[in-house]
A and B are shown apart, each in its own frame.
Chain A
Amino acid sequence: MTQELSMEVNGIRRTVEVAGDEVLLDTLRDRLYLTGTKRGCDEGECGACTVIVDGAPVHSCIFPALAAEGAEVRTVEGLAGSAGRLNPLQRAFVDQAAVQCGFCTPGFLMTLTALLETNSSASDCEVDDAIAGNICRCTGYTAIRAAVRSLVREGGA
């Protein structure tokens, strides 16, 4: 059984048929072909699937697709600005070498976007707390912290 789901994804109104027990991650990846959002664990642990739903970061691998009905959903593909310019957080990840294999990167970007939108002067501790739901196996986190720090120092994202 499928049901109709209407939501705004990265500013575009999307209406798709989804299965009743479908998670938002599958809708994004397999129906809307937004494969920037990654599947790492299926249990809301690794954070690679993080997207922003109505301003709040959620683990889309355990978030029911139908719960996004009428919502504003933002994914990593929606971060770049006009003419495809990287936004300051993306730019900082590139410049501070916060990207290695990059599979966790979309999730970190979405979690940190949500953080910086509510707290543009986040301390290292606040950053560590915010990303407690995101795992990076490559970097040892230092460069990710440095990327955020570079933005906070510059006066916010």
Chain B
Amino acid sequence: MTAVGMGTSRSDADAKVRGLAVYGVDYREAGMLHARLLRSPVPAGRIIRLDVTEARSSPGVHAVITAADAPEHRNGLVLLDTPFFADDMVLYEGEPIAMVVADTATQAQSAIETIELEIEELEPVSNVAEALAPGARLLHPDLDSYEILPGTAPWPKGGNCGGVMSSDPGDVDEAFEEADVIVEDVYTVPRQYQAYLEPKSATASYDGWRWTLNVSHQFPYKARSRVAQSLGVAESRIRVVGHHIGGGFGARLDLGIEHYAAIGASLTGRTVQLLNDREEDLLSCMSRENATIRVRSGLTNQGRIVAREFECLMDSGAYAGDTPYLTSIVLLMAGSVYRVGPTRVTAKSVYTNTAPSGAFRGVCGTYLCFALERHTDRLAQAIGMDRREFRMRNLFEPGDSMLNGQTLEDADILREAFDRVEDAAPWDKAGKGPLRGVGSAAVIWLTNPLAGSATLGIQEDGSLGVSTAATENGSGAVTMGLRQIAAAEFGLDADQVYVTSPDTDTQAYDAGSQGSRTTHVVGMAIEAAARQMKPRLFNIASGLLAVPPDDLELGGGRVSVRADPSRAVSLAEVARTALGAGGPLSATGTYSVPLPKWDPDSAEGLLFPVFPVPTYHVHQAEVEVDPDDGSVRVTRYVVAQEVGRMINPDGVYGQIQGGVAQGMGYALWEGLESHRGRYTRRTLESYGLPLAVDIPDVEVIILEHPCEAGPFGAKGVAEPPIVPVAAAIANAVSDATGADVTSLPIDPEELLAAIDRLQEG
């Protein structure tokens, strides 16, 4: 029997090491057509001529589709600001303008090249400062008339801001008067590209009424609703079938290019496949937004933070995407982990002529933590206090509240996490030596609460099938975690449990692999299904064994008599008997996480108001900086993470190591900087992803505080390991060199200059 807490292999590993796993890009149908997009070559301008006559008669071309052939209304995740194809104005480099569908991709590309496109270029609104400057050109002059997602409360927006979240408790200025010292810092971060290895794709077919999409998407039900929304049809006319996902990290949660394949299919009556090449994928991907963060805190000489102002400007790019939600997270983090006194918070989502930004693991938490924890170091230094001592003095205690009014009764886990890191890597001995340093960072993170479901079926061979629209994005949440939870519920080996891939026609709603929710939410749904099924299972076994149900137990693939385990029936026999006794042993469970209480008056524009099922994290980095080139080597990295209950150690450790590696990339090398609306690094090679040689083995300390409402006590695990990494490394690098480190990726030139100052000093 497979127990919770044991390592088990993922059920998809075998197919993946054989090269037999079918990803979105591998899916094919006989006779399918191939599409290519014409994307805007400029970041801002007005289309004055678009002539597709020659493309229409090019060899192999079945259709050329432009805004004239597409729905006129706008679509969007929460703010409906995005046209199907750019029509009059183009708002970012890479924005789709037309699509050619042809027998081959080569023919489609050749036809694209015959399209006559004339754009009157405009000076791009290339950054947040320009967008917010008085008299700035508005990217969306009709913003006030845009619709919002039905069921969403309206939020403040206007000008070049797609969303504004603000909170002012009213006593902040008075509180600042109590301060002995005031420290103000400004931090800037670039975009980070998810750089999943499988470029985006979509394959669509149409039967005259319904569309079928074959995709690798983290959230098939969102793909369904967004394709339906962009086509202007009912959701139930769209079927989304999910295949293996070659990495997502948040980039496959919203609509990608699925709607283009769909319209290609309905206009040609053929199956159409659309594949991004890497350059267009990078240029158009909804990457983690760049941002500027200003934080000002007042503190006493004794080391107490008494007041704070916090402002975050997020660059949403040309369309708002998820940023109207993300502004809320600024409130949830600006006064968390450490007690900070009355705090005023403003967060704005700002339009610029760059590609729309979007979700990447940890979303804005990564840079908010960077800003907050760099600032925390600076506060300690401002009063000459040891940085760890300062943290311990201000650390949350049980019952403390975040700025949204959400109370954390278990916040003492933070102190436990700091203590456990201290046991492993004592602060006073860490990062010693020339050009060496140590830094730490802590964060409170959420488990995404959105709904999920699972259908269990005991098969006639005694195995257990788990059917769910939850997606296996690579984390192992489905192929390890859910299988293991189901196995443990029924006393089976994980090998006797199989999981299906998602299909919105056959499985109920699931909110996708986001915010570490799959194991927690769908695990709860599996437990709910098991609770439904077990009474019937025991009743049938009771009939077969002539023993009351209460005297039976489940385990080892059998139902046996508790007092005499030699008397037993196999699950296979129970399942076969069930067919003639009311029908198959099948049950569906559903779940969504109850939201914790918060204060709805704590802020305006709070679309994402709470951190459900919070988890606690402390990271500590030790670094060495090379005096010749300013490069940073991470010499030791310790993570203490609270997980509720560990279902599968291979999965948990794998997520922590992988998340830390992505965080190291963000801290030290990666970044999509843009100049006048154009990304300057445009290939995977120049982008600077970490290689094996760059990433040390992370030391992991797991804290378990089982969650009452969690499958076997499990909380979310996979998202947060990326969140504190840049903060911890930046603090260590500043400790090593004396550099301010106010921007990412950490600039070797800045470090060399700081080293020069050290040597001169």
Contacts and interface: CB of A to CB of B under 8 A. Distances in A.
A and B held together in a complex? yes
Q: Which of B12, B13, B277 has the most CB of A within 10 A?
A: B13
B245 interface: yes
Interface residues of A, number: 50
Given A93-B13, A94-B14, A97-B650, A103 B197 contact: yes
A60 to B, nearest CB: 13
Contacts of A32: none
Given A75-B19, A102-B12, A143 B654 contact: yes
Contact of B689 (A75, A79, A135, A144): A135
A103 B691 contact: no
Contacts of B692: 127-128, 131-132, 134, 136, 141, 144-145
10 contacts: A36-B20, A38-B23, A40-B197, A77-B20, A94-B13, A99-B16, A100-B658, A101-B248, A136-B692, A140-B695
Contacts of B25: 38-39
A16 interface: no
Contacts of B12: 99, 102
Interface stretch (A1-9, A64-72, A104-112, A114-122): A104-112
Contacts of A42: 277-278
B19 A36 contact: yes
Contacts of A141: 657, 661, 691-692, 695
B695 A101 contact: no
Contact of B657 (A35, A80, A140): A140
Contacts of A90: 17-18
Given A77-B20, A139-B658, A102 B474 contact: yes
B657 A142 contact: yes
Contact of A101 (B198, B277, B657): B198
Given A40-B278, A103-B247, A93 B658 contact: no
A102 B16 contact: yes
Nearest to A110: B19
A64 B13 CA distance: 31
Given A43-B278, A103-B246, A143-B654, 13 more contacts: A40-B197, A41-B278, A41-B685, A46-B684, A79-B17, A86-B18, A100-B475, A101-B245, A101-B474, A135-B691, A137-B196, A137-B658, A145-B692
A99 B10 contact: yes
A95 interface: yes
Interface in B653-708: 653-654, 657-662, 683-685, 689, 691-693, 695, 697-698
Nearest to B651: A97
A154 interface: no
B146 to A, nearest CB: 35
B473 interface: yes
Nearest to A97: B650
A77 B16 CA distance: 10
Given A140-B695, A142-B698, A97 B7 contact: yes
B282 to A, nearest CB: 9
Nearest to A94: B13
Interface residues on B, range: 35 or more
B540 interface: no
A68 B252 CA distance: 36
A134 B658 CA distance: 15
A35 B26 contact: yes
A48 B221 CA distance: 29
B693 A137 contact: no
Nearest to B106: A19
B244 interface: yes
Contacts of B199: 39-40
Interface string B98-115: 000000000000000000
B640 to A, nearest CB: 17
B683 A101 contact: no
A94 B654 CA distance: 13
A101 B197 contact: yes
Given A97-B650, A131-B692, A102 B21 contact: yes
Contacts of B22: 35
Contact of B247 (A41, A43, A95, A138): A138
B195 interface: yes
Nearest to B281: A41
B683 A41 contact: yes
A105 B565 CA distance: 45
A34 B684 contact: no
A132 B693 contact: yes
A139 B657 contact: yes
Interface string A4-22: 0000000000000000000
Given A137-B197, A141-B695, A45 B684 contact: yes
Nearest to A145: B692
Interface string B1-36: 000000101101110111111110110000000000
B616 interface: no
A142 B697 contact: yes
B246 A139 contact: no
Contacts of B21: 102
B249 interface: yes
B197 A38 contact: yes
Interface in B213-256: 244-249
Contacts of B194: 137
Contacts of A79: 17-19
A135 B19 contact: no
B18 A101 contact: no
B14 A101 contact: no
Given A36-B18, A127-B692, A43 B23 contact: no
